[in-house]
Structure formats: C-alpha cells, structure tokens
Amino acid sequence: MLQQTTVPHAAPYFLKFIARWPTVVDLAAEADGEVMAAWAGLGYYARARNLLACARVVARDHGGVFPDTEEGLRSLPG
C-alpha cells in the first residue's frame, strides 16, 4: 500500500484491510470486487490484484503459510 503513497494516507486503508481479512486465507477467499473496492482510493490496482493472486496461491498451495525460502517466495505471483 505504501508504494507511491504516504503513511498517513495508507494507514486507515491498511487498518481496515487487516481487520476485514486478518489472515492470508481470509483474503484468498474473498471476491475480487470486494478487495478492489477496499483498495479504492489507493490507486495502482495492479498491486491489489497481485496481492490477491499471491494470497490465493499461498492459501491453496502452501496451506496458508508463506514459503520460508527465497526460491519459494520468488515463485509467488506479484
């Protein structure tokens, strides 16, 4: 959220985002449109699409746990 966005602008979005989707599995299960709506106002929607794609791979292929190797992390989308 902070790429080309200031902390004071992004902080409220971040707090609402993590309250709504506290885990990567919660985020992965959400509809694209809901995530995009929560992202509205931050711009650069490709970041939100990449975040959602990554969450879905982590939830589906890694049991909701991020890989602990560089290779594993680099294999994630986004």
Render pLDDT for 15-66 as a digit per residue (tens, 0 to 9). Answer: 999 999 999 999 999 999 999 999 998 888 999 999 999 999 999 999 999 9
Grouping H, G, I as helix, E, B as strand and the rest as coil, residue 11 is helix
Helix%, strand%, coil% for the chain, nearest 5? 65, 0, 35
C-alpha dihedral sign at 66, 35, 23, 61: negative
- The length of the chain, given as a count of residues: 78
pLDDT of residue 1: 87
Query: What DSSP character marks residue 43?
Result: -
Greatest extent of the chain over all pairs of C-alpha atoms, in Å: 35
Residue 4: pLDDT band (50, 70, 90) is: confident
pLDDT over 90 (residue 5): no
- Enter the pTM of the model: 0.88
List the domains of the chain with CATH numbers.
7-74 (1.10.340.30)
